[in-house]
Amino acid sequence: MLGVSSMMGIISAQSNIELARQNQTLANQTYRAGRIRERQGLTDGDQNAFDEGQKMQAKGQEMEMGTFEHLGSAVYAINNINVDNHSENDEDSQETQSASHNADGLSVSANRTITAPSQSGIDISV
């Protein structure tokens, strides 16, 4: 049975995964808009538009780092979940906690299996 702190950890992980998804979407949009602006600058011979497009692309790539910060926070939240285990036989007790999201080309999954006494495995795929 999961306790309140465990549920809060799962909610925190899910929230961070959603923030990562939103951040990645915004980063992709900024980068694509920069590519379009850069091409317009090349086509029109407008150096300012070209430079602006390159700056937007760099900003999109920089924003992408925020995605990994949120994913790191999600993993941290899952790693720090306290499982309330009321079983007398800890060796046979096992709980799996997971948070996942798949949207906009960003597929994230974080799973933690807790097997008493204190073994855990974490699988994170981006």
Domain span including residue 105: 4-125
Helix-then-strand count for the chain, H and E: 2, 3
Alpha carbon of 79 to those of 28, 60, 74, 82, 103: distances in Å? Answer: 29, 30, 9, 9, 24
pLDDT value for 23? 94
Number of structural domains the chain divides into: 1
Half-sphere exposure of 110 (CA within 13 A, CB side): 24
Nearest C-alpha neighbor of 20 from the set 28, 9, 31, 32:
28
Considering the chain, what percentage of its residues have pLDDT values greater than 90? Answer: 48
> Given pLDDT bands bounded at 50, 70 and 90, which one contains residue 25?
very high
Asked whether the whole model's pTM tops 0.85, one would answer: no
Per-residue pLDDT of 56-111, as tens digits, reads 999 999 999 999 999 999 988 888 875 443 333 344 445 555 555 554 555 555 55
